[in-house]
Structure 1
Amino acid sequence: MSARSRPPLDVLIRRLDESVPIPSYGQPGDAGADLITTEAAELAPGERAVLPTGVSIALPEGYAAFVHPRSGLAARCGVAMVNAPGTIDAGYRGEIKVIVVNLDPRESVRFEPGDRIAQLVVQQVERVRFQEVAELPGSVRGAGGFGSTGGHAAVVGPSATASNGYTSVIVDREGQ
């Protein structure tokens, strides 16, 4: 059965404030349902706040919800989430809250009740059993991480040799 033909997952939701709308999807095909804040807040540059959403949920076992930032807030206002994505476990029944930070170096950002502040993505998650071993099986990537696959020219100097043995030309954008 394809994802399109599956019926939607029923998730129990409790409004802690009757004026709060049930989270909804902005467009067909959206992965995240919009979450709003119930409180006004003003964040100066560098400040963070925990914003309440006025809802709590009960997820079925085997699912988790992930609170993701809104790209529009990031692009327009420099607002990010401190712990993105935030994880809501199946057993959590408290209010969903969003930890936001104003990364704009000059401008404050103001939130009003009803402003969309994040999006909630519900996903099926696997429960795993960890099995300790003396050695892990090999892979093409191996232990390479944090930039080992390239794809971004950092601002550090004329050239560098990556851990994979390739030489990367690194552009000093300040000196152009």
Structure 2
Amino acid sequence: MLHTLLFWGLPLLFAGLLVWLRRRLASRKPWLRMIGYVVPGYALLGAYQLLSDRLSALEKAGRIDEETVTVLSEPAVLQQGKTIYDTRCVSCHGAQGEGAVGPNLTDDYWIYGGSIRDIFRTIRHGIPNTPMVAWKHSLTDEEQQAVSNYIYRLRGTNPPNSKPPQGFLYVRGK
């Protein structure tokens, strides 16, 4: 709604302003007429840019991405993450995160980083040339955050038959 108003409203306002200025400035010198057209035009373009930026910021508010994902401990979120993990991740990472085709998710070694942001990024975008697919088109932002938090909480669970460490030691900040 607001984008439609912005898209159609400002050009119509500008057209009306030009008609009004043409009548108002008809008897003025050419350089004064030029200034009379240019200054309001730049003002309207600036207003359009400002409103467009503000609308983009409002649309992004509330979205979860690599920069805004947070560590959550609510049982409902972790249960949702476990449900998603059990349906989509078990075949490669094992039922308890011990690793199968994919790496072990329970130790301190991570190939692409072990922070909540790194885990979220890996889930969202996948890893090219590996079996790890991008889930950004299959899972909502909230679902990606939930499964990221579930995986983040698997650290230190030490399930039996765990795959040996892969990647680099990741030390979490306390």
TM-score (normalised: structure 1)? 0.21
More helix by share: 2
